[in-house]
Structure 1
């Protein structure tokens, strides 16, 4: 399986970040894992690494929490819409949820470039399904 160049994990919960970082690092699916604690940090990273031309720290996959201080997941997605369309199409965004989303929120998220929804906690199976669906990659058994 080829590694993704970069994954951006956006979550304000240090425990979730620690667990998710350990999982993703253990699966060895990315060359670089970047963590942002809110949507504003994530958007700043996107502006820095994805414009005008993407560099090695421009994420191929964003794992985005919804409820965060400063800038929440929906606010990040609205700001993300301002990026050039080619960059938006090249990045897969999976929204992380702790509970099931209201159907109106699902529609809103899909209109704002969300590719998929994953319930917390992340697992190897959930990551594998995401990789298979969007990147034609499958984790090998370790």
Structure 2
């Protein structure tokens, strides 16, 4: 199973964040797991210096809720898209949601969303994301 440098969870529901953190830590899929309660907090986290020096590199994976106060997932994606490409390079954005309005889906088609996954996040869904977007395909295997 692929192992990621970092994952950023962005969701306003503390229970969802707790359960997703528990799942991802138990699966040991990333060296670093960061949590933001809305898009504005996520942007701040992405701009913070790492404990050992420069600004943290872009997370390998962002798991993003759509409906949040302060700054929702679509507003976050619009702002994130304005960051320098080096701050976004190599990041897979997965929108986690319970339901999507057609309007939201249309907006996301123009934004850097890799895929949309129904909540709740499960071990099978994490495996599917990692296999599809992070597995190194080795010729002959």
Q: Counterpart of 1:75?
A: 75
Larger radius of gyration between Structure 1 and Structure 2:
2
How many Å apart are 1:55 and its aligned residue?
Answer: 3.2
Count of matched residue positions in the alignment of Structure 1 and Structure 2:
133
Structure 2 segments unaligned to the other structure (5+ residues): 137-141
In structure 1, what is the equivalent of residue 139 of structure 2?
none
8 Å Cα contact 2:2/2:131 also seen in 1: no
**RMSD between superposed Cα atoms in Å:** 1.9
Give the TM-score normalised by the residue count of structure 1.
0.85
Unaligned runs of 5+ in 1: 138-142
| CA distance in 2 between partners of 1:114 and 1:49 (Å) | 25
2:116 corresponds to: 117
Shift of 1:89: 3.7
Deviation at 1:46, TM superposition (A): 1.5
Q: Cα 1:38–1:128, aligned 2, differ >3 Å: closer, same or farther?
A: same
Shift of 1:133: 0.9
Conserved in 1, the CA contact under 8 Å of 2:63 and 2:96? Answer: yes
Structure 1 residue runs of 4 or more that deviate by more than 4 Å after TM superposition: none
Counterpart in the other structure of 1:140 = none
Q: Which moved more, 1:1-10 or 1:12-21?
A: 1-10
